[in-house]
Amino acid sequence: MMNKILLIAEMDVQTWTYILVGITFTLYIGIAIWSRAGSTKEFYVAGGGVSPLANGMATAADWMSAASFISMAGIISFAGYDGAVYLMGWTGGYVLLALLLAPYLRKFGKFTVPDFIGDRYYSKTARIVAVFCALLVSFTYVAGQMRGVGIVFSRFLEVDINTGVIIGMLIVLFYAVLGGMKGITYTQVAQYCVLIFAFMVPAIFISIQMTGNPIPQLGFGSELSDGSGTFLLDKLDGLSTQLGFAEYTEGSKSMIDVFAITLALMVGTAGLPHVIVRFFTVKRVKDARKSAGIALLLIVILYATAPAVAAFARTNLIETVSNQPYANVPDWFKKWEETKLISFIDKNSDGKIQYVADDAFLKGDDGKFDFAKPNLKTKNELYVDRDIMVLANPEIAKLPNWVIALVAAGGLAAALSTAAGLLLVISSSVSHDLIKKIIKPSISEKGELVAARLSAVGAVCVAGYFGINPPGFVAAVVALAFGLAAASFFPAIILGIFYKRMNKEGAIAGMVVGIVSMLLYMMKYKLGWFDEELPSKSEWWFGISPEGFGTIAMILNFIVSITIMKFTKAPPQEVQDLVENIRIPSGAGEATH
């Protein structure tokens, strides 16, 4: 007995990781076998009878990706106040979703977002434009998820990133192809539990260590427990300005850009097809409203903890490394140095780490930092990858090995659940919107189910390919998926519900102008395709970054839609009746063809 306890205490991180990841993966596969889909309705909308609680949990897991779990706290800890664009942007969208979209789309009661656009705007062209937008948004997003799966595997299980991507592909393939929406829904419920537990445990430990308060959201605003009587945030503001960074609680982006990015992310969230489609799976309109509330509550548990983790980790990092002799750095520093997530170069040869503002290294031709080329214009000697703030946090705070392993299982749950949701949107866009509704309407129910499964297989392979060979621009455009969703779907759906007179000419023109202007701005100011080099920030329109341009593109979409509509004829009576009908909550029935 004694020996066993000793054994558990001494088990290393890798063994723990294999055990926890193994258990969670077995669970996901078990759920997939239990809940496999037998009809297209089960495949597309889980049969339409999911409870609001289960749907809320599934939506939360669907929504929180590897980026939310691994990268967000890190981004905030380097951006300080500016990180609020993600916090407010990725939660405020749910208010729009609950009040303006979810109840009406549920009442409409079809399978996909292009279904709504196609029927409401009585046009195959509108449907095709919507399918194109859905595929564009989902593919930019899913490639990042597969890469995330690979990175988590490679860091914690010491396998090659590509092997990690392939393992992830096989798991997702198994439960998305077998279970469709039904399988995904119930695995996402399990994945939510895993990821929230994995995120909260280290956060609570660290909050207790630093401030003595077990609730991170309160510890964030408390005094440090070192007896100095200083508030954590005051300390952090002081350290930041002392080292030449912007004051932590002030940030450095312009107000108009913060405003535009937040709005683009909010509206984009409300327009993302893989989120919207989750609300087709509940029974009644009132369940759709309620599950939006539950989803946001469950998301905010993580999102309100992330900025606290960010502030703790930032303070910890500065105190551990700044002006300390390199010879004395802790083990985690060396370990992450091997994976190139931390890099140190002693520019003034004093043996100590000078950590101040500006990039310590110059960028190579591939746009990544080249650790052989120190940037001699600055005294900064340290590069720290943002992802380290969550990944290495348990080690920095000296937490037990099982907590470190838990973070790996949580990161995988977050990446897999989002990837599965996106793959389902891609496969239903192809099998339902393209094959059933446009190319071959005579296809049988059985044939459509086979087509749905085959498209899921195809989508997994394409996503895996991009995960293994990420084109340079994928990482840069993932954040812009929101801008694309904001510029295309959001205005078309809102006008479709709230403006009975809106017709197909207006909606199609609006979507096309919105998405094209977003793509062009992105190519010019984010990817630099039109000029010799990337244009500088001073050339941005109204000082708005490509991430925030979704707001402008959305406004353009609204203006174009309404102007064109004024000059073209009103939609037919049956469409106007349809709009009247979706405004009334009762009689939603079950989602049908």
| 232 near other proteins, rule: CB under 8 A | yes
Instruction: Considering only the stretches 31-39, 269-277, 350-358, 581-589, report the one whose residues sit in contact with other proteins under the rule CB under 8 A.
Output: 581-589
Instruction: Considering only the stretches 6-14, 38-46, 84-92, 467-475, report the one whose residues sit in contact with other proteins under the rule CB under 8 A.
Output: 84-92
SS3 333: helix
Nearer to other proteins, 11 or 304 (CB): 304
| 573 near other proteins, rule: CB under 8 A | no
Q: Cα angle at 131 between 279 and 424, to 5 degrees?
A: 50
Query: Who contacts 279 (Cβ-Cβ below 8 Å, separation ≥6)?
Result: 55, 59, 97, 101, 102, 105, 106, 288, 291, 292
Instruction: Considering only the stretches 3-11, 193-201, 303-311, 443-451, report the one whose residues sit in contact with other proteins under the rule CB under 8 A.
Output: 303-311
Binding mask 100-119 for other proteins (x = CB under 8 A): x--x----------------
| 132 near other proteins, rule: CB under 8 A | no
| 558 near other proteins, rule: CB under 8 A | no
| 222 near other proteins, rule: CB under 8 A | yes
**Least distance between other proteins and beta carbon 210 (Å):** 12
Question: Are the C-beta atoms of residues 10 and 77 closer than 8 Å to each other?
Answer: no
Give the position of tokens 């990821």: 195
**Least distance between other proteins and beta carbon 217 (Å):** 6
Instruction: Considering only the stretches 77-85, 129-137, 420-428, 449-457, report the one whose residues sit in contact with other proteins under the rule CB under 8 A.
Output: 77-85
| 296 near other proteins, rule: CB under 8 A | yes
Return the amino acid letter for 159. Answer: V
| 220 near other proteins, rule: CB under 8 A | yes
Nearer to other proteins, 119 or 223 (CB): 223
Give the position of tokens 């509330």: 293
Binding mask 243-272 for other proteins (x = CB under 8 A): ------x-----x--xx--xx---------
| 476 near other proteins, rule: CB under 8 A | no
d(CA 468, CA 485) in angstroms, rounded, equals: 25
Nearer to other proteins, 434 or 588 (CB): 588
| 275 near other proteins, rule: CB under 8 A | no
| 98 near other proteins, rule: CB under 8 A | yes
* Residue 535 backbone zone (phi > 0: left; psi -120 to 50: alpha; other: beta): beta
Instruction: Considering only the stretches 36-44, 193-201, 462-470, 578-586, report the one whose residues sit in contact with other proteins under the rule CB under 8 A.
Output: 578-586
Pairing of strands 361-363, 369-374: antiparallel
- Give the one residue of 20, 37, 54, 87 binding other proteins; rule: CB under 8 A: 87
d(CA 443, CA 408) in angstroms, rounded, equals: 43
Nearer to other proteins, 107 or 110 (CB): 107
Binding positions for other proteins, 355-414, rule CB under 8 A? none
- Give the one residue of 81, 132, 465, 499 binding other proteins; rule: CB under 8 A: 81
The 10 Å Cβ neighbour count of residue 575 is 19
d(CA 339, CA 336) in angstroms, rounded, equals: 5
What's the N-to-C CA distance of the chain in angstroms? 60
| 99 near other proteins, rule: CB under 8 A | yes
Q: What's the token pair of residue 197?
A: 């537990």
Task: Reduce the secondary structure of 466-522 to three states and give it as a string.
Answer: HHHCCCHHHHHHHCCHHHHHHHHHHHHHHHHHHCCCCCHHHHHHHHHHHHHHHHHHH
Question: Are the C-beta atoms of residues 57 and 298 closer than 8 Å to each other?
Answer: yes
**Least distance between other proteins and beta carbon 276 (Å):** 16
d(CA 154, CA 164) in angstroms, rounded, equals: 6
**Least distance between other proteins and beta carbon 285 (Å):** 8
Number of residues binding to other proteins, judged by CB under 8 A? 49
Nearer to other proteins, 257 or 385 (CB): 257
Strand partners, 361: 374
Binding positions for other proteins, 307-366, rule CB under 8 A? 307
- Give the one residue of 33, 170, 297, 357 binding other proteins; rule: CB under 8 A: 297
Angle between helices 445-468 and 401-428 (to 10 degrees): 130
d(CA 187, CA 35) in angstroms, rounded, equals: 9
d(CA 343, CA 166) in angstroms, rounded, equals: 29
Give the position of tokens 């427990």: 225
| Sign of torsion over alpha carbons 434, 436, 442, 448 | positive
SS3 352: strand
Instruction: Considering only the stretches 155-163, 219-227, 448-456, 515-523, report the one whose residues sit in contact with other proteins under the rule CB under 8 A.
Output: 219-227
d(CA 152, CA 69) in angstroms, rounded, equals: 11
| 290 near other proteins, rule: CB under 8 A | yes
Nearer to other proteins, 458 or 585 (CB): 585
- Residues near other proteins (CB under 8 A): 76, 81, 83-84, 87-88, 91-92, 94-95, 98-100, 103, 217, 220-223, 231-234, 249, 255, 258-259, 262-263, 284-286, 289-290, 292-293, 296-297, 300, 303-304, 307, 580, 583-588
